[in-house]
Amino acid sequence: MSNGIYDHWDFNRDLAALVGRESTTLETLNEQMLKVDDPEARMTKADQRTVAELAGRWTQGPSFVPLRLAELFHGARLEHNDNYVLAAVGHLGGRSDTTGIRTFMLTHDHYLRENVFWRFFEVEGGGEISLANIDKFSSEDGSWKAIVVDLVDDGVLDRDRTMRSCLEALNRDFSSYRAGWFSRLYDALKPNAAEAGLNQDQLLRLMASANTATVALAVRQLAVLHQAGMLDSDRFVRQCSPAVAGSKASALKVLGILGSLASTKPWMAGGAGFAEAALFDAAATGLAHPHRDVQHAAATLLVKHQRTALLEAGMDSLSPAMAAQFMPRAAAATQPQDPMAAVGPAPAPPRPEPVSIWTDDEALERFAALLENPNDAIEFELALAWLAAHEASAVLQPLARRAAKLNDPEGPNENIMVDLALAATDPGHVFRPGNRRKQRFWASEGTPNDWPEDRSVVPVFHKRVREVVEILQNRGERRTLLATPTESCGWVDPAVLVRRFLDADAAGLACLHFDAITALLRVGPDGRAGALATLQSSGVGSANAAARNALAYALGGPAQEIENAPWWVAAARARAPRQGDEHLRAAGLMMPGQADPATLSIRWEGTRDSYEQRGKTHHYTWWTINMVAGPRGKSPADFPTVIPSRTDASGEGSPLDYLQIALAVPASTLPFAAASMLRMKQALDSTSPSGEDQILAALENHPGIWHEATAELLALALASQRTDIRIRAAELFAAAVPDRLAAREFAIGMANCAAACTLSRWAGSLADAASISGRAAGAVTEVLGRLLPALEHGHHGIGKLMSVLLDESVRLAKTPQDLALREWLTGFTGSSAAARTARQLLAL
């Protein structure tokens, strides 16, 4: 180097060259290390703090080598604890240790090899430092696994001890991620039957592991021992039950061994052999397995050896189809006379609850709760109502400091309550200025965005909030908001709405534009005639004449001159959500969602791609949703019922936004489904909550009309990666089909997004739904009967969906009669699980 400095980077470079020479010794490495100018890099004064640091972070270099040399040649005294072991794991070589630094150190340093290396199998590690994590991000040739295999082949490491150490490590119940390294090393050593036999005690213990990959390894090796006549059959029989309850592959292999043992009948009351009762008890464990192939294998074994008592005892655990196959008379005896009532009535849909306006005494406490968690849409509506009607500054002053602390003017800050609190307590606060930059990955550098209206899924909500801010900052008159819901589902009682309107007019207050739009869309379905009579018998000022006409039209009154198009569109969509409106057509309001109900067609477009990882090519499909509805562009704040056409790769909006879009148009779920679809799509691949909980909560309470797009939204939730979302979606399916949407329409929605969904998740979710009630089970069979013919025979996971249909058809004593379904079923050939299930369905 030009400045003459020899630093640790130079040492690492030269270290890689030195270890490749036959003449190099540990002394050679030490002499080279002493050339480093930086004393800290030389580590000649290494201490426990240095060891602890190396145990917690990965430098991707041989940082442990100077530390070890300091011990060998410079008197450094270090405690060889777990941190020391992890420091060696992470830093004995570099990320691409193809030059053999690790090999050199373990070959030449006897103490390191015999007293530290074997503890690699005892200390699990975590975070950045573990054998599994280091190898994941290292080159295959320079991985710890490859190096250990080479050292074993060269005789540096004892082969038997290495294999046993792997199994002992697996029996320490390390996490699945870190335990996998020891499984891969054991497999890479390719033990023969004799070598596996030396560790049979460890292999037998591993069948009880919670790690399915570990169990699979143990069962594979025990099968080899069985074939070689070396299996300890008595211990195997007594210890195999956990494996029978584990993964499908392991369970089937264990049942195969049990069947072989049972056929040879080496059981004895004492001495050699095994206990007969223990063998069949272990086999009976398979009757409760979730996979029908395991159930079939277990039941077949019991029937073959006349163990009918065990089979009868396990009848309740068998799937209905399997129970009918092996115990037809018992299955028939347990079939209720009314199969649709088999497991209870259908769950009742949630009933709307009345809501009441805040009082001054409770306002501070309830506002403080929203400040910490704003994701309660009805409570937020009540907060807006209170802020618009009261002098809030003095009441909310105790929250000003907390709001200022939560405020982040440079960040995304999706807690709108923070800005409301600041606006209420500081007249000079600029409420979410239009030039605030939204810090999101889609925002072009230097491009200002009007936030939160820009790209919002529900801009009318944010416009209403700004109307309230105008009042808070003394640029508008205090009032009772028209749109505040009277029911938890979003409806405003027509009589209450008319009273609010007339009271405001009597006070000389003209309607707020966006408050009126939302109020018109929220007009409840009951009591409209009486509210209309009250409105028509009352006079109003000229400032509110246009609003009065629009409100009367929403309640069923006559058509009048259209003076404010957004109000009239809202009124028409509330008046008759399913029908077109000739009055609006004549006025030229022809966009879908104006004179006519909105329409929505969702097209899924997949882009295939691949990537390389550790020498393997992985393929994946990136799905994009193309929504064809109204004009392309942003969601219009003036026309919340108009759904824009757009193509997006991801969703946007805060959890509160998704709750608010449901409240904005309570007469129809279509705008809500369109706004929520992108976010629910993300839940197919993500375990991080990002609004899907709120989306399902809103859909559960939404009183509006369901559409095929609504079914598609719920279908995505049924395939969510999160188990809790799938369970919640299954419960909603049971409550909604067919009462809110017919099975035919729901199947169309599912078929539309099937290519992007994991069918095995659908199978589990629909099975859960079917277990809720007999009515839900009937809905599941109807949906599947129409869905399956729309899918390809080779669609991955199709067999699991067919198994659900088979089980529920048997349980309900219902033969699939649909001609399209039966023709589709005849398209299966061969001996696959799906083909076998198809033949069973046709035979019902």
Tens of pLDDT, residues 60-84: 888 898 889 888 888 888 999 999 9
Q: For the chain, what's the residue count?
A: 844
Residue 443 binned pLDDT confidence (cut-offs 50, 70, 90):
very low
pLDDT for residue 266: 67
CA atoms within 13 A on the CB side of 528: 18
Q: Provide the pLDDT confidence category of residue 578 given band limits of 50, 70 and 90.
A: very high
CA distance 422 to 409: 12
* Residue 548's pLDDT band (cuts 50, 70, 90): very high
- Kindly report the backbone phi and psi dihedral angles of residue 744, in degrees, each rounded to the nearest multiple of 5, phi listed first: -60, -50
Using the Cα atoms of residue 209, residue 211, residue 217 and residue 219 in order, give the sign of their dihedral: positive
Sequence-distant (≥ 6) Cβ neighbours of residue 30 within 8 angstroms: 69, 72, 73
Cα angle 645, 648, 653 (rounded to 5 degrees) comes to 95
How would residue 450 be classed by pLDDT, with cut points 50, 70 and 90?
low
pLDDT on residue 346 = 46
User: Looking at the predicted structure, is the pLDDT value of residue 440 above 80?
Assistant: no
Rg value, the chain, Cα: 35
pLDDT in tens, 220-262: 999 999 999 999 988 999 999 999 998 899 999 999 999 998 8
Query: What would the two tokens of residue 830 be?
Result: 């061969």
Confidence of residue 342 (pLDDT cuts 50, 70, 90): very low
More confident site: 107 or 448 = 107
pLDDT for 575: 95
C-alpha to C-alpha distance for 557 and 447, rounded to whole angstroms: 47
Of all residues in the chain, what percent are helix, strand and coil, respectively (each to 5)? 55, 5, 40
Three-class DSSP category at 484:
coil
Token pair, residue 700, equals: 């559960």
What local confidence, expressed as pLDDT, does residue 324 receive?
79
Q: Which backbone phi and psi does 606 adopt, to 5 degrees?
A: -105, 135
Question: Nearest CA to 145 among 87, 185, 103?
Answer: 185
Whether the pLDDT of residue 724 is over 70: the answer is yes
3-state secondary structure of 523: strand
pLDDT in tens, 357-370: 898 889 999 999 99
Paired tokens of 186 = 């054991």
The pLDDT score that the predictor gives to residue 206 is 94
604-622 burial string, b = 16+ CB within 10 Å, else e?
Answer: beeeeeeeeeeeeeeeeee
Contacts of 539 (CB under 8 A, 6+ apart): none
Share of the chain above pLDDT 90, in %: 57
Helix axes of 655-664 and 692-701: crossing angle, nearest 10 degrees: 20
Residues whose CB falls within 8 Å of the CB of residue 454, separated by 6 or more in sequence, listed in order:
438, 634
Residues 6+ apart with CB under 8 A from 153: none
Contacts of 491 (CB under 8 A, 6+ apart): 352, 485, 522, 523, 524, 525, 666, 703
Query: What does the pLDDT look like over 138-176, one tens digit per residue?
Result: 888 888 999 999 999 999 999 999 999 999 999 998 998
Q: How far apart are CA 581 and CA 573, in angstroms?
A: 9
Which residues does 179 contact at the CB level (< 8 Å), separation at least 6? 132, 169, 170, 173, 211, 213, 214
Does pLDDT of 504 surpass 60? yes
* Residues 662/699, Cβ–Cβ less than 8 Å: yes
> Exposed (0-12), middle (13-18) or buried (19+): which is 705, by Cβ within 10 Å?
middle
Cα–Cα distances (Å) from 734 to 127, 507, 701, 717, 759, in that order, read: 42, 49, 14, 14, 18
Longest dimension (CA), the chain: 108
The yes-or-no verdict on residue 713 having pLDDT over 60 is yes
Q: Is the pLDDT of residue 410 over 80?
A: no
pLDDT tens digits, one per residue of 752-787: 999 999 999 999 999 999 988 889 999 999 999 999
- Residue 711: its pLDDT value, please? 96
- Residue listed under structure tokens 């699991």: 800
* Cβ pair 86, 132 in contact under 8 A: no
Mean pLDDT of the region 429-456: 54
Closest CA to 636 of 464, 512, 458: 458
51 pLDDT exceeds 50? yes
Residue 112: what residue type? L
pLDDT(438) > 60: no
Instruction: Find the helix or strand (DSSP H, E) in which 537 lies.
Output: none
So what's the pLDDT on residue 591? Answer: 92
Over 70: is that where the pLDDT of 485 sits?
yes
> 621-677: per-residue pLDDT in tens?
888 888 888 888 777 889 999 999 887 744 567 888 889 999 999 999 999 999 999
Q: How far is CA 500 from the centre of its chain?
A: 44
| Amino acid type, 631 | P
Res. 190 pLDDT band, cuts 50 70 90: very high
In angstroms, the Cα distances linking 409 to 275, 431, 463, 464 are 73, 10, 20, 21
Greater model confidence, 329 or 721 = 721
Compute the distance between CA of residue 629 and CA of residue 349 in angstroms, rounded to an integer: 29
| Window from 211-215, 318-322, 824-828 with minimum mean pLDDT | 318-322
| Residue 424 tokens, joined | 């209420």
With CA atoms as reference, report the closest residue to 81 among 35, 113, 116, 29: 116
According to the model, what pLDDT value does residue 99 have? 67
Q: Is 359 helix (H, G, I), strand (E, B) or coil?
A: coil
Nearest Cα residue to 216 out of 255, 251, 176: 251
Residue 382 — very low, low, confident or very high, per pLDDT cuts 50/70/90?
very high
Run of H or E including 412: none
Provide the pLDDT for residue 97. Answer: 66
415 against 499, higher pLDDT = 499
pTM: 0.76
